[in-house]
A and B are shown apart, each in its own frame.
Chain A
Amino acid sequence: MAKLSRDDVLKLARLARLRLSDDEVSKLQDELSEILGYVEMLQKVDTDGLEPTSQVTGLTNVTRPDEVRDYGYKPDDLFKNLPAKDGRCIKTKRILG
């Protein structure tokens, strides 16, 4: 496949919420192109009549009763890793201009 352009890389970075340096962009142009070139071999494989697999042990629609269970998690313990909080709320930057 053709080498990814600088714009291709920047578009992906934007979709993935990554801000890349110029160095990272040019490096990733090469590396991603090489890796995507390698996986290109799958395009030639005959998969007619086969369905994709995402679950390998045959489980489907595993459900449980919709009820509260005590797994021993303490809410305060879940809050201790918050970068910023206000009481029991997660504090983030402004989302509306």
Chain B
Amino acid sequence: MFKRHFIALFLGGLFLLGLPNTVLAADALSAGDTAWMLTATALVLFMTIPGLALFYGGLVRTKNVLSVLMQCFALTAMMTLVWVIIGYSIAFNTTGMEAGVTNFNSFVGGLGTMFLSGVTADSLSGSIPETVFITFQMTFAIITPALICGAFAERMKFSAMILFTLVWSIVVYAPVCHMAWSGDGAFFWDLGVLDFAGGTVVHINAGIAALVACIVIGKRQGYPETLMPPHSLTLTVVGAAMLWVGWFGFNAGSAVAANGSAGMAMLVTQIATATATLAWMLAEWIKHGKPSILGAVTGAVAGLFAITPASGSVGPMGAIAIGFLSGVICFWSATTLKRALGFDDSLDAFGVHGVGGIVGALLTGIFASESLGGQGFGDGHTSIGSQFGAQLISVIFTIVYSGVLSFIILKVVDATVGLRVSQEDEIAGLDISLHDERGYNY
């Protein structure tokens, strides 16, 4: 009889040892979290190649399709190396950082993790391997400069784009990433700013750089009188769909865990994107008499950009509001505002993307409120007014920081290799001029 009890206890003990680590210890590796984050990383990479590549590729003229694909692919490769060599350190090294203390390391991380020094296969970042966290964040560092390409499409030199991005990713992207996400002591973090998946870090950062870039580089020849319709809206729609699906990795993955926060992030992402799609369709239907597929997918991505910072703080009804407002506001900024201001943002990198990010970052301050179905304010905030204020500070800071530095980098690159291709090259098309290739050979 004792033997039976002993066997039962022994088997029970074995069973307890076999339970997932989340049950036993908080700081140990969680298989569930890790499995999700491995997947999320793949989803976010998929957003750039081929998602964004096709989305943008279909929007340009036939003679420039390869130049866009090339930019996305090359940036993926280059940013991978930049990230592991120096980007990750600047973004996430926490040397010298202390909660509530504002110093140099509140804005820029230390260089102690350059070349991923100290990182091993067993290093942990929270409940997942640090290697997974590094790669996940890398995919964000990849897509952000790729988004900027939309502004100067069809006229920027490939070498200039590479140089610009190389410098920009180190002095603009990584620091803003650090300010938002590196933890206690970081500038935005200590202000209690809510930026779950990159409203400031990705969308405003890239959107403002895009605006500055398209103004500095100038309009395409023939813009705006010449007909420049998308050469393949079918590719664009395929790309947009890939962005939508991949975004679950972007937003839900920013929970860095397989838990309720990730689940809610996924849900609000879906809701906001769907609502924004309908909002743009409706706006277009009213204004032009017919809804278009380009309008529908542009509305969708506007919703995706806007819900990004909010995905960790708002509830489903807040997501509807954010989706609707971003759809309508971005419709206005990408059409009416853009034509009124006269700049040639070829693929609306600022008009949809930058504006969407700004709208989302600000609305996060409102809809995080539990009274509006949200999940609560950031640390130190107890009212919509104060949270909105923090959001506003982060938005304005990012706009100024990215704007000024992007301008300087562009001017330096212009003085060295030159930003823009020659007039003949632009007319012949970048595919032939820069890459000796044609997209379609039939």
Tell me, yes or no, whether A binds B. Answer: no
Binding site for B on A (CB under 8 A): none
Binding site for A on B (CB under 8 A): none
